[in-house]
Structure 1
Amino acid sequence: MKILFFTQYYEPEPFLIHDKTKELVNNGNEVTVVTGLPNYPKGEVMKDYKPGKQIIDGVNIVRLPIRPRKTGSKNLFLNYISYVIQGNKFVKSLDANFDVVYVYQLSPVFMAIPGIKYKKKFKKNLIIYCLDLWPESLVSGGIKKDRFIYNVFKIISKRIYKQADSIHISSRQFPKYFNEVLNVKKKFIYNPQYAVETSATIMEKSPYDDKKINITFTGNVGEMQSLDTVVNAMSIIESDNVQLNIVGDGSQLENLKSLVKDLDITEKVIFHGRKPVEQMDSYLHYSDALIISMKDDEAISYTMPAKLQSYLKSGKFIIGTINGEAARVIQEANVGIVSNAGNIEQLARNIELFMKKKDDFILNGKNGKKYYYEKFGKDKFIKILIEDLKRLSNS
């Protein structure tokens, strides 16, 4: 098959899209990815990246000259729109050679528009893989549901999703939103994300203070992750025997560092910065427990953050301050303890409970690896993806 991918984000941005396209190529397909210049999460284009074409691991990559995110909602909106404009321009240069179109849809949903343009122009089938629900993601960003702008984006989102011939979903709770809020009734295929499955060499020396109980957060440090909840919980834990390690970067990093300073807990909260993917197994390996946190928001509760699969696969105990689908998985896997998103007091109590029963809880964490391979995994994901791509390319 010749598959045309549209996604605003791509490696080296911290999403597993490149791994999926590489696997499609390894399975004998030809893949072209139309993406932007990498600028997530910091908002500035990463060094040495320019518009143009390149081939990496057999994947044809087209980088469009999109505007970087920078800071502020106005710049973010311009970033979103620039991908649509540049993507639509690029579609004009394409022919009908592709068999099927696939949109890897994070935020914003607008990134599907160039894919829809190609679909209509050449009468091809379109798959949208939905990882972020729109327009609900706008509510998470502070836009009220009774605002005019929300209703405009609701209409746009509904029209975009209705253009899909198949919608792949990363959470079992998504169909409820599509049916009840957007009145979009399509063929939904549940295909949850997977963790990085390449074997990495574990660093000989721990990056942490091994005299402390080390709890680790990895990934994007943004507003949605609500890490201020975790930092505030650390401030009310009396013991100095516990350390929160934040391994990642993002728009809220400096604010979080200021909060740690204001709370006078700089010895309890350590910022390690963003690390290469190949080092992440080491940071998880040397942790006593892992923490997952998200904002208290209805739409976010529908989603399942990609880091959860990595956490499960690591076999470590998980402490969650999170609602919805992710909380359900942690409890079903019997791999951790969960408090409601945003509940500082309860999170602090749960961390203290882990410290008290650490040896027993560490054993519980081992349930995660078994659960991961039963419910998730790369092989399962690629099999489901290829089957539907073949179905739609032949119809």
Structure 2
Amino acid sequence: MHILFLTDNFPPEVNAPASRTFEHCREWVRAGHKVTVITGFPNFPKGEVFPGYRNRLWQKETLDGIDVLRVWTYITANEGFFRRILDYQSYMLAAIAAAPFVRNVDVVVATSPQLFTPCAAYVVSRAKRIPYVFELRDLWPESIRAVGALSRAPRIFALLERLELFLYRKAERIVSVTESFRRNLITRGIAAEKISVVTNGVDAARFHPLPRDEALAARFGLSGKFVAGYIGTHGMAHSLETLLDAAVLLKSHPEGADIRLLFLGDGARKQAVKDRARDMGLDNVLFLDSVPKNEVPRYWSLLDVSVIHLKKTELFTTVIPSKLFECMGMGIPVLHGVAGESAEIVEREGVGLIFEPENAEALTAGLLRLKSDAGLYREIHSRGPVAARHYDRSELAMRMLSVLEAACQT
């Protein structure tokens, strides 16, 4: 089977969609299938093309047996709604233009959250007379409205929602990353039998328990410190100001003197969060920029606790942050500030503590508890790698492959 995968994020970018797509495609190649990915030139999240690349008309390369066709797009930083829409639309048009040069394709797959990539997949599927599969990673445009980005543009939201439902209906199969997304689509009239759930997972070969990288810890002044870290996108949805408020509380607590909060990543709110930390006079927080994919586990090893957090809104009760599974794999206890389906996983697997989103006092209490209760910490630490076996990326890739095969047989 020849699988054509459309995605606007792909390694060497290190965000969740890039990692999921790469790891799935790699497993499909290992299973004997041909995979071609059409993507842009790596630039997420700063809107700066990575070293070794330039934003030209097209470029071919091969990564772990995956044929990668990179196309020109309008590049902008991951901030500003309308500029990002131009970015997404330029990729859509470029992917449609490039697809005829990829021959003998059996199925085309597109990944969300934004809808312009599935739009391209739908057009390509009609032109090539092949099925198209929609990988649903987020409920877009609802997730935009949840952070207030479309509050003043109800007509645009309505148009995007109509487009969303059209693309669901036209897809031969839909692969949802959560059960909550599946239920949402069914209540909106999408046929249940064509929706499969393939959760996010972890690449066990990369994310497994590691001793702290002491050289790295010394470099950043973290030797002998209890480190709680947020690793990932610094966006509007993450409400990282809650972590800063917790840092203030820790400074005034007798048990908080040797606790440090580490922020690793980039995003639309990164500079604003840094500025606020400076204005608050916080000397117990550390901000680091994104690092190359092969360096990420070293930075995870610095953490005693991983903080996962999203804004307190109904929509985010339906999401499962992918970093949860990486924490499991590395045996890092989680302080989980996301209600809903993902919190149920944390409690069921026993891999962390739950706290109310946007509640700095609850976050602080959980952090101090994990620091002071050595028995609880060891128990949670030991459960992570065991739980991670239930979310092994290679097995999940095969589950999605069976969906693609079914789509081709319809």
- Please give the TM-score of this superposition, normalised by the length of structure 1: 0.92
Q: How far has the Cα of 1:133 moved from its partner? A: 1.1
Q: Counterpart in 2 of 1:379?
A: 394
Deviation at 1:331, TM superposition (A): 1.2
Query: Are 2:166 and 1:159 equivalent residues in the alignment?
Result: yes
Deviation at 1:282, TM superposition (A): 2.8
Cα RMSD over matched residues? Answer: 2.0
CA–CA separation in structure 2 for the residues paired with 1:31 and 1:381: 17
* Corresponding residue for residue 258 of structure 1: 275
User: Does residue 95 of structure 2 align to residue 91 of structure 1?
Assistant: no
Is 1:29 aligned with 2:4? no
- 1: CA distance, partners of 2:272 / 2:206: 34
Counterpart for residue 217 of structure 1: 230
Q: Is the 8 A contact 1:289 1:362 kept in 2?
A: no
In 2, Cα distance between equivalents of 1:66 and 1:57: 24
Q: Counterpart in 1 of 2:145?
A: 139
CA distance in 2, matches of 1:342, 1:328: 18
Alignment correspondent of 2:86: 78
- Alpha-carbon distance in 2 for matches of 1:371, 1:30: 32
- Is the alpha carbon distance of 1:363 and 1:206 closer, same or farther for their aligned partners in structure 2, counting shifts above 3 Å? farther
* TM alignment of 1:1-395, pairs within 5 A: 1-14=1-14, 15-16=18-19, 17-50=21-54, 51-70=58-77, 71-95=79-103, 97-105=104-112, 107-142=113-148, 143-144=150-151, 147-180=154-187, 182-186=188-192, 187-199=194-206, 203=213, 205-207=215-217, 209-237=222-250, 238=252, 239-266=256-283, 268-373=284-389, 375-395=390-410
In the alignment, is the contact (CA less than 8 A) between 1:173 and 1:302 conserved in 2? yes
Distance 1:372 1:215 in 2: 21
Q: Give the Cα–Cα distance (whole angstroms) in 1 for the partners of residues 266 and 129 of structure 2.
A: 41
1:195 and 1:145 map into 2 onto residues whose CA distance is: 38
Between the aligned partners of 1:18 and 1:383, the Cα distance in structure 2 is 14
- The 2-side partners of 1:354 and 1:292 are apart by 15
Q: Which has the higher contact order (CA 8 A, sep 6+)?
A: 2
Measured after TM superposition, the shift of residue 128 of structure 1 is 1.4
SS of the residue corresponding to residue 224 of structure 1 reads helix
SS in 1 for 2:236: coil
Letter of the 1:311 counterpart: C
Given that 1:102 and 1:129 are in contact with CA atoms closer than 8 Å, whether structure 2 keeps it comes out as yes
Contact 2:27–2:398, Cα closer than 8 Å, also in 1: no
Contact 2:119 2:167 in 1 (8 A): yes
Work out the CA distance in 1 between the residues paired with 2:65 and 2:224. Answer: 46
* Ranges in structure 1 where 5+ consecutive residues have no aligned partner: none
Q: Which runs of 5+ in 2 are unaligned?
A: none
**1:359 positional shift:** 4.0
**Amino acid aligned to 1:376:** Y
Contact 2:45 2:267 survives alignment (8 Å): yes
Moved over 6 A (4+): none
Aligned length: 390
Deviation at 1:159, TM superposition (A): 0.4
1:359–1:209 CA distance, 2 compared to 1 (3 A): farther
Larger deviation, residues 381-390 vs 200-209: 200-209
| Residue identity (%) | 22
Structure with more of its chain in helix, by fraction: 2
Tell me if structure 2 keeps the 8 A contact 1:318–1:365. no
Given that 2:61 and 2:69 are in contact with CA atoms closer than 8 Å, whether structure 1 keeps it comes out as: yes
1:182-213, CA deviations, whole angstroms, 9 ceiling, x for partnerless residues? Answer: 32224221111122322488645352623221
SS in 1 for 2:37: strand
SS at match of 2:315: helix
Cα gap change, 1:18/1:379 in structure 2, threshold over 3 Å: closer, same or farther? closer
